[in-house]
Structure formats: C-alpha cells, structure tokens
Amino acid sequence: MKPAGNNGYCCGHVSILLESYYQLTGLMIDFEGQPETSAKGLFNAPFALISHGIEAEPVFNYANKTAMQLFDMTWDEITTLASQYSAEQPDREQRSQLLREVKSKGYIEDYSGVRIAKGGRRFYIEQATVWNLTDADGAYYGQAAMFNHWHFL
C-alpha cells in the first residue's frame, strides 16, 4: 500500500504539504530528518492526509496510508479519483463551498463532513484542517486535508 513511482515527487510534494501547513497555521508536522524520512513518516502517520491538484476537476495526487485505508483504495485508485467523488452527490455542494472558502482564506480548521469509501461505506470526519498548497514562491498547487477524528456511519 505504499506510493508507487517517483520518490522525488513524493518528497517534493510532502515538502509543499508540510511547508504550506506551517506557513498558514504556524504549526509544524515534524518528523525530524531528511525529506525521505519526512515522506515516510507522513505516509505512515496515524492521521489521514490527502491532497488534490489544480485541474478543472481536481484529482487526488497524494494520500497517506491512513487515508487510503479509510477510502478503501490503493495508491493507483486514489490518485486517479476526482476528489469530488469522495463525497456523495448530496454533499458535493457543501464540499465545493468549503474548498472555495479555503481558497480565499488560505485554510480552515475544524471542518466536519461525510465522505464515502470505494465500497460505499460512509464515514464522518471531524476537526479536519484543510489548506491551500503553495510553494515558497507562492505558486498554487491545490489543497490538502488532514484529520485524525472519524467514525463510520
């Protein structure tokens, strides 16, 4: 269940995830060490972390092991999924509003909402932080969500 392919991408993307989070919240997610150590630590963390890109219909481009388990998907499945499909049809407008708010404010804390796994199992996430991903020059890369509170419905 580990990320396939280019470790350079994962390390680079993880750097953007961590740096953006720190710049917006002032909080660090610290795994002490080289980028490879941070990438491995974040991938194996007990909280869920997932991000999507900047396509017209954004596609997930990263999920750690916890997020993949919650969504019941492999790396290849989740990184080809349009992120809007992580919510059921009735909840997609609420999700879109959330992402617009994040885009304008930079981040939000304490988001809650229902998500759906591949097999149809629904789960409720609580106290999620959702933030914009930007590099050191301010280039926009998408959005990420991190949470460690959820329960199955």
Q: For 14-54, write each residue's pLDDT tens digit.
A: 889 999 999 999 988 766 655 667 788 889 999 999 999 99
pTM of the model: 0.89
Taken in order of first residue, the domains within the chain and their CATH numbers are 7-152 (3.30.450.20)
Q: For 74-122, write each residue's pLDDT tens digit.
A: 999 999 999 999 998 888 888 888 888 999 999 999 999 999 999 999 9
Containing 107, the helix (H) or strand (E) segment is strand 107-116
* Cα–Cα distance for residue pair 110/130, rounded to 1 Å: 9
Task: Decide if 18 contacts 35 (C-beta within 8 A).
Answer: no
